């Protein structure tokens, strides 16, 4: 069945209000809702609602909800064929080598070299295949940090597909807590941990921020890696400081080159010391020590 995407743009504050209203209004139908940051500097967010069946009726309800919030936005439509786009896109991706790591799909198992730390990632609804500059940069940096610091207890915050958690488990042979706010992501992460034979080391938990009791139970951490986005990373700086062991290290990514100084400043203010920045494809990976 073909779905139709109803979408419009607005600011972040309005987008959050609209998302909450849509969740309540369309809870029974289970219609997917999404927010995408189109332009961070100009505060442009794209809100999407995926409808099937009577699209006109759904659009009418969307307009009623917006009117109830004293908002009015032109709504565009886009047909979405019933295709697993994630699987299709990953089928054509080439394997990635980053340091000792080799990230690949099932179709590229034969390309693994002796001595490489192979990570097989299946298609799934979670970010992180190793192909994005941020993920590859994290893999390179983690190899250096683990060799230098020899951590014993690690956290992968915002784990996505768990590629970084799996990398840590394979490289350091230590327990890794892998958390994400998205339950779909943690399900995919758990499956990937099993696929890569590190299920005993990688624990996956759905947890927003640091509010889940698992962090107190498993922390403090010798190493935290977080490949998210610059703004949430800056907001999390005080909590990162509260959950890292004294002398521990953090690896941060999802940060554009131009955002690097602001992120470093946020963590220096929490008694972290900048060690190194790795630049890759317009993105940076930052290594700091407390």
CB atoms within 10 A of CB 13: 10
- Residue 126's pLDDT is 44
The helix (H) or strand (E) run that includes residue 244 is strand 244-256
Collapsing DSSP states into helix, strand and coil, what is residue 213? helix
Provide the pLDDT for residue 174.
96
Whole-angstrom distance, CA of residue 22 vs CA of residue 31: 9
Place of tokens 């951590």: 151
Question: Residue positions in the annotated binding site?
Answer: 135, 158, 180, 227
Binding residues for S-adenosyl-L-methionine: 135, 158, 180, 227
Strand partners, 221: 244
Helix ranges restricted to H, the chain: 12-25, 55-68, 85-91, 133-149, 163-172, 183-195, 213-218, 230-235, 237-243, 260-268
**Residue 236 to residues 129, 157, 243: CA-CA distances in angstroms?**
24, 11, 11
| pLDDT at res. 144 | 93
User: What is the model's pLDDT at position 108?
Assistant: 76
Instruction: List C-alpha distances in Å: 226 to 62, 77, 243.
Output: 35, 35, 13
- The answer to whether 135 touches 128, Cβ cutoff 8 Å, is yes
Q: In a structure prediction context, what are the per-residue pLDDT tens digits for the chain, which is 290 residues long?
A: 568 999 999 999 999 999 999 988 887 787 888 888 888 888 999 999 988 889 999 999 999 999 999 998 999 999 876 655 455 545 545 677 888 888 887 777 888 888 888 888 865 544 454 546 688 889 999 999 999 999 999 999 999 889 999 999 999 999 999 999 888 889 989 999 999 999 999 999 999 879 899 999 999 999 999 998 899 999 999 999 999 999 999 999 999 999 999 999 999 999 999 999 999 888 999 999 99
Structure confidence at residue 184 (pLDDT): 85
Compute the CA torsion angle 120, 178, 180, 52 (nearest 10 deg).
Answer: 30
- Angle at Cα 160 formed by Cα 84 and Cα 13, nearest 5°? 90
CA separation for the pair 44, 185 (Å, rounded): 25
The answer to whether the pTM exceeds 0.75 is no
Place of tokens 């659009």: 59
As a whole number of angstroms, the distance between CA 279 and CA 64 comes to 47
């Amino acid at each position: 069945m073909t779905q139709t995407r109803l979408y419009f743009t607005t600011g972040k504050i309005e987008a959050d209000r609209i998302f909450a209203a849509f969740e309540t209004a369309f809870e029974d139908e289970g219609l997917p809702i999404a927010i995408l940051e189109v332009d961070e500097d100009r505060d442009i967010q794209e809100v999407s609602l995926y409808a099937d069946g009577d699209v006109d009726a759904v659009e009418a309800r969307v307009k009623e909800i917006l009117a109830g919030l004293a908002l009015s936005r032109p709504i565009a439509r886009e047909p979405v064929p019933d295709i697993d786009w994630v699987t299709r896109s990953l089928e054509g991706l080439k394997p990635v080598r980053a340091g000792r790591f080799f990230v690949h799909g099932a179709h590229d198992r034969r390309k693994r070299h002796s001595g490489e730390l192979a990570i097989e990632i299946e298609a799934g609804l979670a970010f992180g295949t190793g192909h994005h500059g941020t993920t590859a940069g994290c893999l390179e940096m983690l190899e250096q940090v683990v060799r230098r610091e020899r951590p014993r207890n690690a956290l992968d915050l915002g784990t996505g597909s768990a590629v970084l958690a799996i990398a840590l488990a394979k490289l350091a042979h230590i327990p890794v807590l892998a958390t994400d706010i998205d339950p779909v992501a943690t399900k995919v992460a758990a499956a990937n941990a099993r696929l890569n034979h590190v299920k005993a080391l990688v624990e996956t938990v759905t947890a927003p921020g640091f509010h889940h009791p698992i962090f107190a139970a498993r922390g403090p951490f010798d190493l935290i890696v977080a490949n998210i986005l610059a703004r949430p990373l800056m907001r999390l700086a005080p909590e990162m400081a509260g959950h890292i062991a004294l002398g521990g290290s953090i690896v941060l990514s999802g940060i554009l080159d131009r955002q690097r100084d602001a992120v470093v400043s946020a963590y220096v203010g929490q008694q972290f010391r900048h060690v190194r920045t790795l630049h890759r494809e317009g993105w940076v990976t930052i290594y700091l020590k407390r």
